[in-house]
Amino acid sequence: MKIGDIEFGKYPLFLAPMEDVTDPAFRLACKNFGADMVYSEFISADALIRNVESTERKLTISDAERPVAIQLYGREPEPIAEAAVKAAEAKPDIIDLNFGCPVKKVAGKGGGAGLLKDVPKLLEIVKAVVKAVNIPVTVKTRLGWDDSNKIITTLAEQIQDCGAQALAIHGRTRAQMYTGTADWSLINEVKNNPRIHIPIIGNGDVTTAARAKECFDKYGVDAIMIGRGSIGQPWIFEEIKHYLETGEEIEKRPFDYYLNILKDCINKNIEWLDERRGIVHSRRHMAVSPLFKGIDNFKQTRIAMLRAETKDELFEILDGIEKNFDVENRNKINE
C-alpha cells in the first residue's frame, strides 16, 4: 500500500490524530512500538495563520517519527489552504484534513464533521489544499452526519476526485459521537467500490489484536487507524503487529516495564513544554491507561494522579502504585 511515494508494508497500523493525546512524546512511543504512521493533534487552521504560539507548537515533528502527518481543521477553503502551506514548512510527510471531529465547539461551528452538512464546501477545501501544497493530502471523516445521512459511499468518490491520496473513515456518524458501535460495513462498501483506487483506512473500536486482524480480513481495508485504543498504552501497536505476524498473543512484560514507558512520555512532555504543562498534558494517559485496570481501590489514586502538579509528586504516586502492585502479585502467588 502506498500514499504518494510512501511505501507501507502488509497490515499497516496508523496512530489516529487526537487532541491532547498525540503529542510528540506519545507519537514517538507509538512509532517505537510499530506504528507505521503517526498523526499530530488536530490543528486549527485559523489559529495557525494567526500565529497562535500554542498552535504553532503542535507543528513540532522529528525525523524519528516519520512518516508523520499534520492534521488541520477549519471551515473555509482559503484559510485552510494558507494553513496547509505553513504546516508544510514543518516538513511533514502528509497533510491530513479533519472532516470527522464531532465535538460541538468544532462541528457546531462548521468545522470537522460539521462539513458533512456542506459537502460542496468540504470538496472545495480538499481541492484548495491539494493545489496549495506539494505533498500528499489525505482526509479523515465519518459515515455521515446522522443515520439518515450516511453519505460516505458517494463522498469517498468525490474526495478521491478532488485529489486526496488516501481516505480514513471512522465507522460512526457525527450524531453518534463516540457512542454505540462502529459500523465497518460501509467502510467495506467503500473499499469494494471499483471506482475507488486510493487507500482506504478503517477506524473505530479497534482495541485488541484479534479485532485488528478481523478488520483486515473481513473488511479488506488497506490500513487500520487506532485512536482511543492506544491512549495510555502505546504498546498496543506491538501487540497487534505480533498477532498479525504470528497469530499468537505477545507475552506480557513486567508491570514496571510499561510504567516506565508512561514515565518516559511524561519526562518528554516536560522537556517539550514545561513541568506544569507537561504534567497536565500527560494526565489523560494516566487517567485511562489499561495498565491500572483491575487494581483494587484505585479511584482515589487516579484522582491523586490527576491532581499532581509536580513531577516529583506524580512520580511518587506512580512508584507507590508499582510497589503496591508488586506486593499484591507476590501475595497472590503465595496464596
329 vs 303, higher pLDDT: 303
Q: Is the CB of residue 295 less than 8 Å from the CB of residue 325?
A: yes
pLDDT in tens, 40-91: 999 999 999 999 999 999 999 999 999 999 999 999 999 999 999 999 999 9
Distances (CA, A) of 62 to 53, 69, 85, 93, 323: 19, 11, 18, 11, 35
Confidence at residue 326, expressed as pLDDT on a 0 to 100 scale: 60
- Amino acid code (one letter) for 134: N
Helices 77-88, 119-132: axis angle to 10 degrees equals 30
Confidence at residue 20, expressed as pLDDT on a 0 to 100 scale: 86
Q: What do you get for the CA distance between the two ends of the chain, in Å?
A: 51
Label residue 323 exposed, middle or buried (CB < 10 Å: 0-12, 13-18, 19+). exposed
Cis before 17 (ω within 30): no
pLDDT in tens, 185-211: 999 999 999 999 999 999 999 999 999
**Euclidean distance between CA atoms 59 and 261, whole angstroms:** 23
Q: Is the CB of residue 46 less than 8 Å from the CB of residue 80?
A: no
What does the pLDDT average to over 97-112?
A: 95
* C-alpha cell recorded at residue 76: 473555509
What's the pLDDT band for 238 if we cut at 50, 70, 90? very high
Q: Is the CB of residue 209 less than 8 Å from the CB of residue 243?
A: yes
pLDDT in tens, 287-310: 889 999 888 888 899 999 989 999
What does the pLDDT average to over 173-179?
A: 96
pLDDT in tens, 121-143: 999 999 999 999 999 999 999 99
Q: Kindly give the pairing relationship between strand 6-7 and strand 13-15.
A: unpaired
Distance of CA 229 to the CA centre of its chain: 9
Confidence at residue 324, expressed as pLDDT on a 0 to 100 scale: 81
Q: Is the CB of residue 283 less than 8 Å from the CB of residue 306?
A: yes
* C-alpha cell recorded at residue 200: 482506504
Length of the chain: 335
What does the pLDDT average to over 178-189?
A: 96
**Euclidean distance between CA atoms 318 and 324, whole angstroms:** 10
The catalytic residue among 30, 101, 215, 265 is: 101
**Euclidean distance between CA atoms 321 and 256, whole angstroms:** 10
Answer yes or no: 30 catalytic: no
**Euclidean distance between CA atoms 210 and 253, whole angstroms:** 19
**Euclidean distance between CA atoms 25 and 37, whole angstroms:** 14
- Give the predicted TM-score (pTM) of the model: 0.93
Q: Is the CB of residue 111 less than 8 Å from the CB of residue 100?
A: no
Q: Kindly give the pairing relationship between strand 38-44 and strand 68-73.
A: parallel
**Domain spanning 2-246, CATH architecture:** Alpha-Beta Barrel (3.20)
What's the pLDDT band for 329 if we cut at 50, 70, 90? low
Q: What are phi and psi of 95, to 5 degrees?
A: -105, 125
**Euclidean distance between CA atoms 239 and 171, whole angstroms:** 23
To the nearest whole percent, how much of the chain has pLDDT over 70? 97
Confidence at residue 287, expressed as pLDDT on a 0 to 100 scale: 80
* C-alpha cell recorded at residue 120: 460542496
Question: 103-111 — which CB contacts under 8 Å span 24+ positions?
Answer: 103/177, 106/73, 107/174, 109/75, 110/75, 111/73, 111/74, 111/75
Distances (CA, A) of 21 to 163, 189, 274, 322: 29, 30, 17, 24
Instruction: Tell me which residue has cell 502492585.
Output: 325
| 32: number of Cβ within 10 Å | 16
Confidence at residue 174, expressed as pLDDT on a 0 to 100 scale: 97
